[in-house]
Amino acid sequence: MTEYHQTSRAKAPGGFRERGWRVGLALTALLLLTACGWAGALSGSGRDADANQTALQPTSRTLKSEIRVEETVLPTETVSPEVTVAPDVEPLEETLLLQDKLTALYEQANPSVVYILVTRRGVSLSLYMGSGSGFVYDSEGIIVTNHHVVDPGDRYEIVFWNGDRRRATVLGSDPDSDLAVLQVEGLPEGANPLPLADSSTFQVGQFVVAIGSPFGAQGSMSLGIISGLGRSLPSQRMTETGSSYSLPQVIQIDAPINPGNSGGPLLNLSGEVMGVNAAIATTTGTNSGVGFSIPVDVLTRVVPILVEQGWVAYPYMGLAFDGDITLDDQEIYGIGQTRGAYVLTVMPGSPAERAGLVAASSQTGRGGDLVIAIDGRPIQDFAELNSYLVLETEVGQTIELTVLRGNETLVLPLTLGTRP
């Protein structure tokens, strides 16, 4: 079963921070990585083992039935014409150009990326709770990281690229976006705010760079590509019904990120922040080539609110959906299409109940409204509906939901409440 693991670095057993933990961890990591050949922890390891065995097979085979003995005739004179092969320099030049771009990017961006040590006050000692990464957001000492990085602690130490250290305070934290904002007094030289990217330019296959502190190794950079767009991640908190809210428009990447990378920036090759690295999909707890980054559009919407008031109010309808309708679901629900978000539950007293939306029968699964558009915009599934709600609406705003109810198409006004 695939799980989503946060990439902050959790506390060691016992919880107490000791001077030798870093050396022990580094030696352990070196031994493990040497033994594993940096193979990672890929799901389906049996299949990978088979693949490796296949790769070690000879590249040519001679069957017994194909072996023939032929008489060899040596020529009295052999003429070997001179053949000049032009060196293929273009790929090398392109590789060197990419290398130069990456080294320049690192020199530019790394001074703005920080290592965050998280502790909690004990009776006589500080308990080490974990670590993560972050980056400088503005010249006032604002540092962005993940909610799950800061959540376990109450004391925060920021380590900059040049070894400078600062105490930081939490200005705000939001479990639904998994973002948090810290502030330090004064920034060292070179720690400049990182510029933000334009999300409309993001493409699958685009090169991306992650900088952070995996396993406490500060200033580590990894390279990969965007492997998917428009993903969703569950909130860091559960609702009263046992479900969770979803964060939309998440970026899927194959750039290696591991525990300690949480909160670090995902950058394009121009050094602009595309997202905040947050989680990996894994069955083992380590990277398997599927990582997730909170998109810059969520960052620009949430961070200023956290700086101003410390918390975020999200719009709320009070509905639970089947947002991925299969053909089997379509038959069960008795609806005419798979596109849309099917209403399974309407929360009592919610804005949706006041707007008159109808939920499916808990016995048959039939009779629920199928939401097919919001404010006149057609939706393919719940992910598109959620993306519009989170990124383009406000609490108190009245929206219009277009629903299919039996053979009727209805437009229902709904005034958004505040997410509980």
pLDDT tens digits for range 275-306: 999 988 877 666 677 999 999 999 999 999 99
Cβ neighbour number for residue 152 with a 10 Å cutoff: 16
Give the pLDDT of residue 299.
Answer: 97
Whether 174 is a known active-site residue: answer: no
Alpha carbons within 13 A on the beta-carbon side of 325: 26
- Which residue among 176, 178, 254, 369 is the active-site one? 178
Model's pTM, two decimal places? 0.77
Boundaries of CATH 2.40.10.10 in the chain? 110-183, 199-303
CA 86 distance to own-chain centroid? 44
Structure confidence at residue 95 (pLDDT):
86
Q: Report the chain's C-alpha Rg in angstroms.
A: 27
Active-site choice (148, 288, 297, 322) = 148
Residue 317, pLDDT score: 97
- The class (CATH top level) of 199-303 is mainly beta
Which class for 393: exposed (0-12), middle (13-18), buried (19 or more C-beta within 10 A)?
middle
Question: What percent of the chain shows pLDDT beyond 90?
Answer: 67
CATH architecture of 315-418: Roll (2.30)
Q: Is the pLDDT of residue 274 over 60?
A: yes
Is 126 annotated in the active site? no
Q: Write the CB contacts of 334 (distance below 8 Å, at least 6 apart in sequence).
A: 366, 367
Q: Taking 60 as the threshold, does the pLDDT of residue 62 lie above it?
A: no
Of 295, 289, 303, 300, whose CA–CA distance to 277 is shortest? 295
pLDDT at 26: 36
Type of residue found at 411: V
* pLDDT, mean over the chain: 83
Annotated active-site residue in 222, 262, 293, 350 = 262
pLDDT of residue 84: 56
* 218 contacts 139 by C-beta, under 8 angstroms: no
pLDDT tens column, 83-134:
555 555 577 888 899 999 999 999 999 999 999 999 998 766 778 899 999 9
Q: List the single range of 280-284, 357-361, 381-385 with lowest mean pLDDT.
A: 280-284
Across the chain, which distance is largest between two alpha carbons, in Å? Answer: 101
pLDDT of 100 reads: 94
Identify the residue with better confidence: 404 or 8: 404
> Under DSSP, is residue 54 helix (H, G, I), strand (E, B) or coil?
helix
Of residues 6 and 381, more confidently modeled: 381
> CB-based burial of residue 84 (10 Å sphere; 0-12 exposed, 13-18 middle, 19+ buried)?
exposed
148 catalytic per annotation: yes
Portions of the chain given CATH number 2.30.42.10? 315-418
Both tokens assigned to 412: 């229902």
CATH number of 110-183: 2.40.10.10
d(CA 76, CA 223): 57
> What are the pLDDT digits (tens) for 199-228?
999 999 999 999 999 999 999 999 999 999
* Separation of alpha carbons 279 and 291, rounded Å: 6
Q: Residue-wise over 52-66: b if at least 16 C-beta within 10 A, else e?
A: eeeeeeeeeeeeeee
Higher pLDDT, residue 10 or 339: 339
Q: What are phi and psi of 333, to 5 degrees?
A: -75, -20
Q: How far is CA 76 from CA 37, 79, 80, 82, in A?
A: 52, 10, 13, 19
